[in-house]
Amino acid sequence: MPATETHTGLVRRARKVDRILAETYPDARCELDFENPFELLVVTVLSAQTTDRRVNAVRPTLFAAYPGPEAMAAAPREHLEQIIGPLGFFRAKTESLLKLSAALVERYDGHVPGRLDDLVTLPGVGRKTANVVLGNAFGVPGITVDTHFGRLVRRLGWTEETDPVKAEHAVGELFAKRDWTMLSHHLIWHGRRRCHAKKPACGACPLARLCPSYGEGPTDPVAAAALVKTQGPA
């Protein structure tokens, strides 16, 4: 890529990167299991500071016992703590689920609202969680700036913003809105499988020619291939 890239050049490069990632990760999707908006909201809150795999493991027990906001709001605290114990921070997470469920019952008649402005008023629900729910349970395009997304867009030279909301706006402006949700999945999958925080697998990266950070990790193909993870959730 040229040393001084025009905005049009940046848009073209960013969209090409997304096309390559779509071909590389055709199965990219939300790696949290869920069956309805409530489940996705809850598992996204639970996924803080732990892995999607651990959350997926406790999900069946959790929703078998408390399938909706009414049931969860009335759950005995000790039982909830016991179920989500393997996820860590179980006291704080239990408190979040109780407050969140109670707010859904009191303010939204037991339904998860489908608007960002409403979702972010719920206890424990930030912009990242709201965008995950909108994009994956309601089909409303949303950009999810998690740790992988933020790291990758900076490595790819799309933005230097470290503030998640500013990064969301800067990257959103490079893409058609309809592509936002899948773009988020593509980048997050790439971050989990190849473009790791430590030692990205540059020598085994399909974006090598389009990435200004190529060389941040090993460029030797054999060394890089050993760093590639073939499956998530990480």
Site for ligand SF4, rule CB under 6 A: 155, 194-195, 200-202, 205, 207-208, 211, 213-214, 216-217
Instruction: Kindly name the residue from 146, 166, 198, 229 that is annotated as catalytic.
Output: 146
Q: Which is nearer to ligand SF4, 75 or 153 (CB)?
A: 153
Distance CA 13, CA 166 (A): 20
Residue 119: partners with Cβ closer than 8 Å, 6 or more residues away: 41, 112, 113, 125, 129, 130, 133, 134
How far is Cα 215 from Cα 153, in angstroms, rounded to an integer? 16
Output the CA torsion 57→60→61→66 (10° steps).
130
CA-CA distance, 127 to 201, in Å (whole number)? 30
- Does the annotation place 30 within a ligand binding site? no
Q: Tell me the closest approach of the beta carbon of residue 224 to ligand SF4, in angstroms.
A: 8
Please indicate whether residue 27 is annotated as part of the active site.
Answer: no
Torsion-angle region of 142 (φ positive above 0: left; ψ -120 to 50: alpha; else: beta): beta
CB 128 → ligand SF4: shortest distance, Å?
21
Catalytic residue among 128, 166, 198, 220: 128
Q: Which is nearer to ligand SF4, 108 or 214 (CB)?
A: 214
Please state the closest distance from residue 100 (CB atom) to ligand SF4, in A. Answer: 35
Closest by CA position to 73, among listed 41, 49, 96, 56: 96
| Residue 44 to residues 78, 98, 162, 215, Cα–Cα distance (Å) | 21, 15, 22, 33
Of 143, 234, 154, nearest in space to 193 by CA: 234
Comparing CB distances to ligand SF4, the nearer of 135 and 217 is 217
Nearer of residues 188 and 211 to ligand SF4, judged by Cβ = 211
> Which residue numbers belong to the known binding site?
195, 202, 205, 211
Q: Active-site positions?
A: 128, 146
